[in-house]
Amino acid sequence: MKGSLIILAFFVVGVFVGFKGIIPAELLKEEWNTYVLYALMLLVGVTIGYDRELLISLRKVNLSIVLVPLATIVGTLIGTFIISFFIRDWNAAESMAVGSGFGYYSLSSIFITQYKGVTLGTIALMSNLMRELMALLMAPLARKWFGPLAPISVAGATSMDTALPIITQYSGKQYVLVAIIHGILIDLSVPFLVTFFCYL
C-alpha cells in the first residue's frame, strides 16, 4: 500500500513538473522511454534469476497451479473486452492492452506509452495502480465471497510482492506458493500480451 502511494505521489509530482515546464524539452525525448524499458526488463530478469528459492519453487510446481494465472489472464481479458464496448475513445485491443498490465503498472505503462502514446499510457498507469489498491483493500471480501484463490487472482502481478502479506493473512499460508508462482507467471506474460494488443 505504501509503495503504491509513493508511486502515485511521484506521478502527481511528474504531472506538475511537466505542466510547469520545469524540465527542458530536450530531456523528454522518446528514446529515454526505451532505455528505461530496457533497464526495467533487465532488473525484472535479474530479480527472478537471483532468487534461488523462487527458482526451486518453480521446479516443485504442480501443473494445476498454472490454471490460477491462466484464469486470471482469461478473466481479465474478457472483462476488458466487454468494458471496451462502453468506451468510445479506445478500441477493444487498446482496452485489452491496458488490462494486460495485471497490476504491473511500471512496465505496462511504459510499453503502452511507447506504442500508443502518453494518454493511454497514463490510463494504464492509473488502471493498474487501482488494481493493486483494490487487491489490498478488497482481499477480505474477495476471500469471503469467492474463496481463497480470489485475492490472488485480483492481485494479478502483485500477488508475489506487495499483495503477498495480505494474501497470506486472508487466504492462508498454504496459498503462499500459489501466489508466488501466480505472480511470476503473470509478470512474464505482461510484456508479451501488452505488446501483442498494442500491435493489433
Would you write out the chain's pLDDT as a tens digit for each of its 200 residues? 565 566 667 778 877 887 777 777 666 666 666 676 677 667 766 766 777 776 666 666 677 788 999 999 999 999 999 999 998 889 999 999 999 999 988 888 889 998 999 999 999 999 998 998 888 888 888 999 999 999 999 999 999 888 888 888 889 888 888 898 899 899 999 999 999 999 98
What local confidence, expressed as pLDDT, does residue 29 receive? Answer: 65
- The pTM score is 0.74
What local confidence, expressed as pLDDT, does residue 107 receive? Answer: 84
What local confidence, expressed as pLDDT, does residue 200 receive? Answer: 87
What local confidence, expressed as pLDDT, does residue 125 receive? Answer: 92
Length in residues, the chain = 200
